[in-house]
Amino acid sequence: MPELLVAFRGPVSCRRAAQPPALILSGYAAEPPGDAVVLALSAAVPAECPAALEDARVERLAEGQYRITSAACSWPVSAAAAHLHFEIAAEFYRAIPPRCAPPWKRLFWRLALTLAGSRAGLAALRALRR
């Protein structure tokens, strides 16, 4: 029974390379949250596979056997390995909010930037630097 590896939503870029991973599919996941997804297959690239697909799906048929499906076309692929990468930066920064700067540091930078905004202030900063 086929196992869904990844389902893309919208346009999918298909890059070919001479060395493994030979086929790299990149686009956005169909399932929420719809983050960027990259699938790298260490496989011989099917000659009929286009440079761009629409709403593609990749299924694992058996060990080392995959099927790429898009619209009415389907391509079987034999791959030694498949690497699936999800972009998780947005989820990470939602879970760990940035730390608020201490009040003394905010005051220091506000003062330094205010001084740097005028000729007299720049002269004062240069004098402090010496």
Residue 33: its pLDDT value, please? 67
For 21-54, how does the pLDDT look when each residue is reduced to its tens digit (9 = 90+)?
788 999 998 887 678 899 998 887 777 778 888 8
Residue 44: its pLDDT value, please? 75
> How buried is 68 (Cβ within 10 angstroms: 0-12 exposed, 13-18 middle, 19+ buried)?
buried
State whether residue 122 is helix, strand or coil: helix
Domain boundaries, the chain: 3-91, 99-129
Q: Which two tokens stand for residue 45?
A: 């690239």
- Name 36's bridge partners: 28
Q: Residue 24 in contact with residue 6, Cβ under 8 Å?
A: no
Q: Which two tokens stand for residue 18?
A: 């001479």
pLDDT above 90: residue 114: yes
